[in-house]
Chains A and B, each alone.
Chain A
Amino acid sequence: MTKSTRYLAFGSAAIVVFGLCTGLVAYYGGIPSLTASRVGPPELALVPADASIVAFADVRDVMDSELRQKLREALPGDQKKREELQRLTGIDIERDIDRVVAAVGADAEHSVVAFLSGRFNPTQIESLARQHGGEVVDYGGKRLIRGMRPKHPDNHSVATARVHGTAHAAKADVHPHSGDDSPALAFIEPNVLAIGAETAVKRAIDTQKSGQNITTNGDVMKIISSVATGNNVWAVGRMDHFVSRLPQEVAMRMPPIQWFAATGRVNGGIHASLRAEAVDDQAAENLRDVVRGGLALVKMQSADPKMASLAQSIRLEGSGKTVSVSFTVPAELIDLLLAKGPRGLVQN
């Protein structure tokens, strides 16, 4: 073997070995920048790995959109509510919030948490919470504000005991009906505010410490990676966690969907899509048939040209286990709605 052949062999082997090692490390989640955490907002690192639904809104982008400018002009009363919120919390929703990530855990309403990322005044928010009966406790090194609702007499002693307790001690006290479902908030980072059920906010603090976040969940991240680019609003979730909670009558009629992903792109108009992943190809085909029938009905009934253009924009796509429906609300249609209200859509 000549020297040049040896160099070529080593070079080729080096590329393959480098790629395989990179893939292997990424597979085990060892390089955050190479794994799915690079996909989506950084607040995903606070969402527990077993979250059933994850939603995201790029508030900054939506607020700067043409649609929002039009709404602001069309609905001037909205301004007063914003000013009231700013007076109370110091938060100007138009400027201070950049993005929101919300998550729902397997525990549904007890595990709802939203992470607001932006510029906040912690002192003002804390004093407002205290005015509403809130108390500040230390949990995992973070200041947790909780109890912002009328306290139940039975919960008082438990709450007091927790004030000086450690994070683990406080966690041990948790009882599903003892007050941990009450709203709480905590500054996880100076610019990240977590709001939600107390259990969920505590879980977010634990998640940040342990690193066992949603970015280590390959199934969810695969779907998030497919929606996180090009959309300023999206939500993805597992259906099976919720189907088991529904009444049997309803659950039986639900299509066998494993995952769903809803996306929206807000600018002058709105482009939205809803994608579902069925349990198998047959179930997806059945679902496509149902949706196809529904769409045909909608298109047949859209006699008005303006509504017809909206109906024509509805597209059914997908192959294999995937079913996807997308539609576009054009800027002209929104202008018409804002100018004349729903009557603008009716043909004279």
Chain B
Amino acid sequence: MQDSIRSTISNTPQHTAPGFLYSAFRVFDFSLSQMLWSRRTIFMLLVVGVPVVLATVVRLIDQLSTSAMQVNGVAMDGPAIFGMMIWMFFVRFSVPVLSIFYGTALIADEVDDKTITFLFTRPIPRGAVLVGKYLAFLASTLLVVLPSVMLVWLLVVPIRGTLGGSFIPLVKDLAILAAGFAVYGAFFAFIGAKFKRPLMIALFFVFAWENAALLFPGYMRRFTIAHYLQGLVPHTMPSDSAVTLIQSVFQETPTLGTSLFWLAVIWAVFLWLAARVVERREYVLEQ
């Protein structure tokens, strides 16, 4: 009798839990659509749509006018305008702001909606849930932001400039933006997984801490992401306000190797920490 039971058990197909990467991919697959067609995407479209509209206006003005476009009395060509737009709209604004809104919400949204239980009852590693959602965030932001940069480049650079001459800076810009989303996203994913009010902390980090640390000479700037990210930007930093003027005066550009190394370290450490927090933390859903 016992032998027959044993043989029945051994003949029953064994369902092993899926691996970490496969699990992450499955979470990525369903999270991508969820993120792309959410209300946040409207905000994201607004953020990346403004530069495209402005680029169109600049191009139209240039077509209609015979004289060179001037900013504060200085004639500007297309590549210079593009460089200024990359700084103001993308590096300083879109990358940190979109990372905050998506990165902090990766786990926090599931907690708020009380749907995290459904994810955690699946036979997949908990960390894979965060990594899958992080990859979905990265894909959705890049799918919206990179085409916007490309359109701005195609519209603005031909104004007394050449597409060929600005091609290498464009490739660098795209790589920098992707790196920015990856690193800021990993950092804010950790903030979102660890803290109860992640949005406030993230906004404070970007708009208070990073701005203040970059404002003064010294080593404090090394504890910001912007220091390493902005050091990679191939365009001259515009001095459009008192704060940015002081920042440009005290700008201390780290070497390419240093920037890449520390960005990689920040990315790996905070993504690992975020996955670890999700693995270990007991999420108590408020009734």
A29 touches B164 (CB 8 A): yes
Residues of A within 8 A of B265 (CB): none
Q: Kindly specify which of A2-10, A68-76, A157-165 makes contact with the partner chain.
A: A2-10
A15 touches B164 (CB 8 A): no
Q: Kindly specify which of B167-175, B191-199, B210-218, B271-279 makes contact with the partner chain.
A: B167-175
A27 touches B150 (CB 8 A): no
The listed residue with most B CB atoms (<10 A of its CB), out of A5, A22, A28, A230, is A5
Q: Kindly specify which of B120-128, B155-163, B250-258 makes contact with the partner chain.
A: B155-163
B residues contacting the other copy or chain, number (CB 8 A): 35
Q: Check A24 for interface membership: any CB of B closer than 8 A.
A: yes
A229 touches B167 (CB 8 A): no
Q: Check B19 for interface membership: any CB of A closer than 8 A.
A: no
Q: Check B236 for interface membership: any CB of A closer than 8 A.
A: yes
Residues of A within 8 A of B66 (CB): 229-230
Q: Kindly specify which of A96-104, A128-136, A217-225 makes contact with the partner chain.
A: A217-225
Q: Check B18 for interface membership: any CB of A closer than 8 A.
A: no
**Binary A-proximity of B170-208 (CB < 8 A = 1, otherwise 0):** 110010000000000000000000000000000000000
A4 touches B162 (CB 8 A): no
Tell me the total A-B contact number using a CB cutoff of 8 A.
98
Q: Check A64 for interface membership: any CB of B closer than 8 A.
A: no
A residues contacting the other copy or chain, number (CB 8 A): 38
B154 nearest CB neighbor, chain A only: A19
Residues of B within 8 A of A5 (CB): 32-33, 36-37
A262 to chain B, nearest CB (A): 14
A to B CB contacts below 8 Å, 28 in the list = A4-B33, A5-B32, A5-B33, A5-B36, A9-B139, A9-B143, A12-B143, A15-B147, A16-B147, A16-B174, A19-B151, A20-B171, A23-B171, A26-B167, A34-B158, A34-B162, A34-B163, A34-B164, A35-B162, A36-B165, A39-B162, A221-B162, A221-B165, A222-B161, A225-B162, A226-B161, A228-B160, A320-B236
Listed in ascending order, the chain B residues whose CB lies under 8 Å from chain A are: 29, 32-33, 36-37, 66-68, 73-75, 77, 139, 143-144, 146-147, 150-151, 153-154, 158, 160-168, 170-171, 174, 236
Listed in ascending order, the chain A residues whose CB lies under 8 Å from chain B are: 1-2, 4-5, 8-9, 11-13, 15-16, 18-20, 22-24, 26-29, 34-36, 38-39, 218, 221-222, 225-226, 228-230, 315, 317, 319-320
